[in-house]
Structure 1
Amino acid sequence: MSAISFFVSYGYNIESDGDAFVEKINAYMRVYQRILRPGEFLVDVFPILRYLPDWFPGAGFKRQAMEWNHNKETIHDVPFQRVKRDMAAGKAQPSFTSTLLEDLAFDPLAASKYNESNVKRAAGSIYTGGNDNTTSSIHTLLVAVLQFPGIQEKAQEELDRVIGRDRPPSIGDREDLPYCAAIVQEILRWQPATPFALPHALDQDEEFRGYVIPKGTTIMANVWGMTRDENFYPQPEEFIPERHLILDEKGTRLRETTRHLATWGFGRRVCPGSTLAEAVIFAGVISMLWACKISRPAGTEDFKIEYETYGVRWPKDFPVEFEPRFEGAMDILRSSIYDTDQ
C-alpha cells in the first residue's frame, strides 16, 4: 500500500517495508488516527484551553501538537523536494507532483488556481488519506475469508475459470471477475474503514427533525449505521458478496452493480481517490486469492477476531496461514511484480 501511494504521489519506488521514511510516516499516521477521534483531547471538550501558555502545567498537548505538526511538515516536504530536485536534473518519474509542478511552470492558468504549497499538501494527502484505509480493507478481506470460508472457494473457482493458472489476474480483468469485484464492495460495507467518516462542521444553523443544530457544530456521519440498514442489506452482519451482483441486460451473466459511496465520505470532502482505492483493494483480493489458500492455523479455530477503531477501523492481531494454491504460483506472482509489462 505504501509503494502504490508513494508511486502515485511522487514517482518514488519503495524497495522494502523497512524503508526509514515509511516508518516515520506510519508513526505519524498513528497520531493522525488519534486526532480524528472527537474528544480524544481535553481541549476538544474545553476549547478555552487552547489559550493556555505553552509552559503552563496541563498544556503539554500544545507542545505535543507542535512536535506532531513539525513531523507532518517533514513528511510532506522531504519527498516533495526530492521530486523538485529530480525534475531539475531531468530524471523525475511521472507522478501527481511532477505533473502539477510542470503545469504550474508552463500553464499560466494553473498559477491562478494553485501554488506549490497546495501541490505539496495534496500529494501528502494521497498517502495519509488512502494508505490506512486500503490496508484496513485488505486486513478485513483476510478476516472475511477466515469467518466465511465459502467466499474463498467461490472466488477461486471464478479465478481459475476466467484466468487460469498460467498468469496472474490484473485490474484489467475486473469486468470478467464480477464475484471478486463484489467482494470489494462487501468489504467496504461489512467493515467500513472509517465508520464515522471524517468530521464535518456546519457552516450555518440547521434544523433536523425538530432540533436546531447550531452553526459550527461538529457532525459525524454514521456510515456504520448506513451500511447495516436491513431495508437495504438483509442479514447485515453476514459477509455476502452476492448482494452486489445482478444479471446483465441480457440476463446471461453476472455483473457488479453497486458502489458504496457512503464509505468514501460526503460533500466537498468526499474522497477524491476512491476509484484508485477500490482498484488497489481489488488488486489485493485477486492476487491473494489467486495465489494462496488462506486459513486458520491449527489450534486457532476458536480464536475470536475483534476490531478497534481509532479514526480507522482495524482488526486486532489475529492468526492466519497462507499456502500456495498450486505449484509455481508464488514464482508467477513474484515475476509479475518486477515485470513492467504486467
Structure 2
Amino acid sequence: MNKLLAMEVFVQVVDAGGFTRAAENMQLPKASVSTLVQGLETALAVKLLHRTTRQISVTADGAAYYERCLRILSDVREAEESLSRTKLSPSGRLRVDAPTGLASEILIPALPDFFERYPDITLELGCSDRPVDLIEEGVDCAVRGGLLGDSALIARRIGILSFVTCAAPSYLARYGVPRHPRELERHRCVNYFSSKTGKIYDWDFTLNGERIQMPLPGVIALNDSNAYVAAGVAGLGIVQMTDFALEEHLRAGRLTQVLDEWITDPIPIHVVYPQNRHLSAKVRVFVEWVAEHFAAHPGMRIRTTPNLLSSQQAAQ
C-alpha cells in the first residue's frame, strides 16, 4: 500500500465528509478510496471512521491521526518543492470560485497575465453568486465579497467595492428622477436576494452623517449580478450595483446615475482558503497575483465623490 497516498485519501475523506466527494476531488474510483482507507485501518489496527449508510464521522483515534497526517503531508510537499522547480514554476489543477460579476468584469480579463506568469497551472474557475463550501466542494480558494462568517477559512483582504444607484433613461422618463432616498419608496426598484438564505437585501444611503437603511418595493428580485444589471438596463426599475459592473453602461448611456451625492456602504473583498489545508505553490501564487491585481484596479477604491460621467449625462 502506498502509505502517503492512503494518508492523502484519508484527509480528503474527512475534509469532504464522505467517500464519494473525496473520490471526485481526487479523481479516483470510489472503490479505490474505500480500499485505501480500509488498508490504513488494517495497518494501524484501529478504526479511523464510523460509517453509516448516510454519513461518516471520525473516531477519536481518527481525529488524532488526521492531525498527524496534515503535518506529515505538509512537510512532504514542502520538501518536494524545495528540491524541485515547482517553487519557480507551479503546476497542476487549481480550483477557484468567484462571484459572477467580479469574475467576468475584473478577474477573467486579467487572466492572460496570470497564465503568462504561470503557464503550467490549469485553472478551473467556478463563477456564481452562490456561496460555496470550499472543503465540501474541493475548492482550493475563493474570492468573496462582504463580511466573512466562516472562521475555518484564512482570509486576505484584497480590495473594496463601492456602489452606485442607477436606472435606465426610459425608466426615468416614465417615473421621474428621485431626489432623496425616501422617494424610492414610491418607485419600482430591482431587488437582490441572498442565494444562501433567500433574504432580500436592504438598500442603504449616507450623506453628511445621515444614514438611511430600508427595504424597497420592487417587481422583481434576482440573485445573479449579471442578471441584476441586465434588469436595470431593460428599464425594470432602479438598481444599486458596484461601480465596475455599471461603468460601461453609464458611459454608453444605457444607465444614468441617480442620488449622486448619497454614498452606499462599501463592502470588502477577500481571497479565502481553508486553514487546515497545505498552501501549495499554485495556491500561493494565485493569492499573491489576485491581491496584486485587485489592489491596482480602479474599481476597488472607495467612492467619495459623485460619478462625474453620470452627472453630466443626467444633465443632458
TM-score range, shorter-chain basis? under 0.3
More strand by share: 2
More helix by share: 1
User: Larger Cα Rg: Structure 1 or Structure 2?
Assistant: 2
TM-score (norm 1): 0.22
